[in-house]
Amino acid sequence: MASSIQATDLDIYYGSFLAVHDVTMTIKPQTVTALIGPSGCGKSTFLRAMNRMHEVIPGARVEGKLELDGTDLYGPGIDPVTVRRQIGMVFQRPNPFPTMSIYENVAAGLRLNSTRIAKGDMDVLVERSLRAANLWEEVKDRLGKPGAGMSGGQQQRLCIARAIAVRPDVLLMDEPCSALDPISTLAIEDLINELKNEYTIVIVTHNMQQAARVSDVTGFFNIEGTGKPGKLVEMDETKRMFSQPREKATEDYVSGRFG
């Protein structure tokens, strides 16, 4: 189920602007990979390139290779829609569909694609997804209520449940806790630890303690100056990145000397 991702010499452009330059990285299955770095260094752009979400912005394109279990995601004949079905995403701000109930939000991935599925099977799927997102106990009595009425942390877990309901191979998280309070953040971090058993997770975070807490591998992105492309400076096991990084820039960043 969980898959690996391999990026080779990946350049990401917005129009003629080179946003991310020459990233080569391997993401192993069933690990949590954290991407850290200062604002504007391209880590979110890189994350969005992994499930072709950045293509939503006109003029965005990539050069180089990005493979999911050996399949080139940008190869000819690959539909971005199917890529996104395999590589799910959770966003910075919780974004449940306001017109749908909690149940419908979780079922949205299948319903919106008009996948035929029996009511009973759907019930099972919704419950399993909500349980996996540690939300079932809190919402099981009000599945028919709108998702927008929950707290921010619950909404974010609902979004995670919605993302894993379509059973992706990889789960991308773009600063999933930056809009949440510490307790909700803790709930999400615990959840990430559990989800690791089934999914490959890549998380972008501004919070270095969070990266240290949840991730197995950490990649540090940096930017030389405004208008310059972001680059992957160093990538290694999280423990090593935070104790004895090879690069001076990484050490400066993780020790709080800048950024």
Partner 1 sequence: MTTTAPRSAERAVDTPLTTVPRVGGVLPRWGTWAVLAAAAALVGGLLALVGFSISLFILATALLFGVAVYLWSRVIEGRRRAKDRLVTITVTGAFLLALAPLVSVVVTVLLKGLERFDPMFFTYSMSGILGPGGGAYHAIMGTLIITGLAAVMSIPIGLLAAIYLVEYGRGRLARAITFFVDVMTGIPSIVAGLFAVALFALFVGPGARLGIMGAIALSVLMVPVVVRATEEMLKIVPNELREASYALGVSKWRTIVKVVLPTAVAGIAAGITLAIARVIGETAPLLITVGLTTAVNLNPFAGRMATLPVFSYYSYASPGIPREAFVDRAWTAALVLIIIVLGLNLIARLIARVFAPKTR
State the residues that interact with partner 1 by CB under 8 A.
51, 53, 56, 58, 81-86, 88-89, 91, 93, 95-99, 108-109, 111-114, 145-146, 148-149, 159, 162-163, 166
- Provide, for the chain, the percentages of residues in helix, strand and coil under a 3-state DSSP scheme, each rounded to the nearest 5: 40, 25, 35
The candidate with the shortest Cα–Cα distance to 44, out of 175, 163, 156, is 175
- Nearer to partner 1 (CB atom), residue 145 or residue 240: 145
Q: What does 154-179 look like in DSSP terms, one character per residue?
A: HHHHHHHHHHHHT--SEEEEESTTTT
Structure letter (DSSP) for residue 197 = T
Judge whether 127 and 136 are in contact, CB under 8 Å. yes
Shortest Cβ 156–partner 1 spacing (Å):
12
Shortest Cβ 232–partner 1 spacing (Å):
23
- Nearer to partner 1 (CB atom), residue 166 or residue 233: 166
Shortest Cβ 105–partner 1 spacing (Å):
9
Q: What does 86-141 look like in DSSP terms, one character per residue?
A: HEEEE-SS----TTSBHHHHHHHHHHTTT----HHHHHHHHHHHHHHTT-HHHHTT
- Nearer to partner 1 (CB atom), residue 37 or residue 109: 109
- Nearer to partner 1 (CB atom), residue 94 or residue 245: 94
- Nearer to partner 1 (CB atom), residue 25 or residue 108: 108
- Nearer to partner 1 (CB atom), residue 8 or residue 151: 151
Instruction: State how far the Cα of 169 lies from the Cα of 181, in Å rounded to an integer.
Output: 28
The full length of the chain comes to: 259
Shortest Cβ 166–partner 1 spacing (Å):
6
Shortest Cβ 48–partner 1 spacing (Å):
9
Shortest Cβ 73–partner 1 spacing (Å):
13
